[in-house]
Amino acid sequence: MKAGDWVTLEYGNQRVEAEILLISENQRSMMLQFEAILGGYVGAMPILQDEDGVYRDLFKNEEVRIKRVSHTRP
């Protein structure tokens, strides 16, 4: 994955399409932007990958599931 890629973002029972705005070289941290409010995040969410390979949001430490989508813009 790289900046500019689109992903399906699942957080709790919500699902939206999000763009990777920033991503670290090792892909363990990223900033996702989207047009929604997810668990108090408005338009963007920083996520980090834990030691088990699970992505989690930065503030609540809740699991975030992402899957790359094939298109470049929804």
- In three-state secondary structure terms, 3 is coil
The answer to whether residue 56 is domain-embedded is yes
Domain, as residue range, for 48:
6-68
**Cβ atoms 5, 18 nearer than 8 A:** no
Residue 30 placed within a domain: yes
* Count of structural domains within the chain: 1
| Residue 41 resides in a domain | yes
- 14-48: b or e for each residue (b if 16 or more CB lie within 10 Å)? eebbbbbeebeeeeeebbbebeeebeebeeebebe
Judged against a pLDDT cut of 60, whether residue 74 lies above it is answered with no
Output the pLDDT for position 62.
94
Beta bridge partners of 25: none
Whole-number percent of the chain with pLDDT over 90: 84
pTM for this predicted structure: 0.85
